[in-house]
Amino acid sequence: MTRAPGELWRSTVGRKALVALSGLVLWVWVILHVFGNLTLFSGAAAADGYAEALQRAPAALWAVRAGLAVAAAVHVVAVASLARVARAARPRHESRAAREPGALAARSMRVGGVALLGFIVYHLLHLTLGVAHPGFRPGHVYDNVVLGLRPTWVAAVYLGAAALLGLHLFHGLWAAIRSLGLRPGVAGRRRRPAVALLSGAIAAGFAAIPLAVLAGWLR
Ligand code: HEM
């Protein structure tokens, strides 16, 4: 079954499938980013060399960036559109308790998602463009990260984002499985701890960097 994206967009089921598929693309990218970040533990030469190697393949780098931007835009716009539909369908004075089960989880995903989006904007200004980083030097990824995360409040922002991302990935993957009609069943539900472990490992991988800077292991 192949359907044009336009056709998928027209139904709420199709838009849920687009949220799920774009979410899966973002999942894969986040795993790659954690592995990229771990080069920081091998020192400045390894981390700066890794970033430089990416710059030496500009076509591939920009293709990945474009794919990432499209996936993120589809994800956010489809979620916003589904939220509008859900709001319009809800009786005006419905109590919180009477709302559909899962409505609270969906709402927390949206609130968490908006917070993550805010973090990503700050993060790009901080470590990619350097405009929110007083000591930023282009190409010096290791120094930019270590100096940039030294203030406790900045490290706390990154730690909060890592925790939020772990929760978002965990709940998002289950929602995606349901949206794509892949009923998890009993066998699938038994894999929940494995999904929790993977999401937790990604969160821990991101959190390791600010923690190592605060502890003075990365300096
Ligand atoms: C402690 C955690 C993190 C560290 C140390 C970190 C580090 C970095 C660095 C150094 C860059 C710039 C790379 C370069 O210019 O060569 C970057 C880019 C980026 N990061 Fe992170 N990051 C972290 C967490 C996150 C999280 C949680 C997200 C999103 C959920 C994220 C999303 C991005 C994006 C979208 C880019 C731009 C990629 C590009 O320009 O191609 N990062 N990160």
Query: 80-104 pLDDT, tens per residue?
Result: 999 888 888 877 665 555 556 567 7
Q: Provide the 8-state DSSP code for 176.
A: H
Answer yes or no: is the C-beta of 158 below 6 A from any ligand 1 atom. yes
- Tokens, residue 52: 């430089």
pLDDT of residue 99: 59
Measured between alpha carbons, how far is 116 from 211 in angstroms, rounded to an integer? Answer: 19
**pLDDT for 26 beyond 70:** yes
Looking from the CA of residue 158, the nearest atom of ligand 1 is 1
- Closest ligand 1 atom to 207 CA: 1
Distance 185 CA to ligand 1 centre (A): 36
C-alpha 144 – ligand 1 centre gap (Å) = 12
The residue with greater pLDDT, 131 or 1, is 131
Q: What pLDDT is attached to residue 92?
A: 67
Is residue 176 within 6 Å of ligand 1 at its C-beta?
no
CA 198 – ligand 1 centroid, Å: 19
In 3-state terms, what secondary structure has residue 92?
Answer: coil
Interval between CA 44 and ligand 1 midpoint (Å):
16
Task: Report how far ligand 1's centroid is from the alpha carbon of 17 (Å).
Answer: 26
Q: How confident is the model at residue 184 (pLDDT cuts 50, 70, 90)?
A: low
Query: Does any ligand 1 atom lie closer than 6 A to the CB of residue 140?
Result: no
Q: State pTM to two decimals.
A: 0.90
- Return the higher-pLDDT residue of 205 and 95: 205
Mean pLDDT of 23-48: 96
Q: Residue 88 to residues 101, 106, 148: CA-CA distances in angstroms?
A: 17, 15, 44
Least confident of 65-74, 102-111, 133-142, 200-209: 102-111
Instruction: State residue 98's pLDDT score.
Output: 52
pLDDT-based confidence at 64, cuts 50/70/90? very high
Torsion angles phi and psi, residue 84, rounded to 5: -65, -45
Q: Who wins on pLDDT, 13 or 186?
A: 13
Residue nearest to atom 15 of ligand 1 (CA): 128
Q: Output the six-digit token pair for 91.
A: 């009786």
Residues of the chain with pLDDT > 70: what percent? 90
pLDDT on residue 183: 66
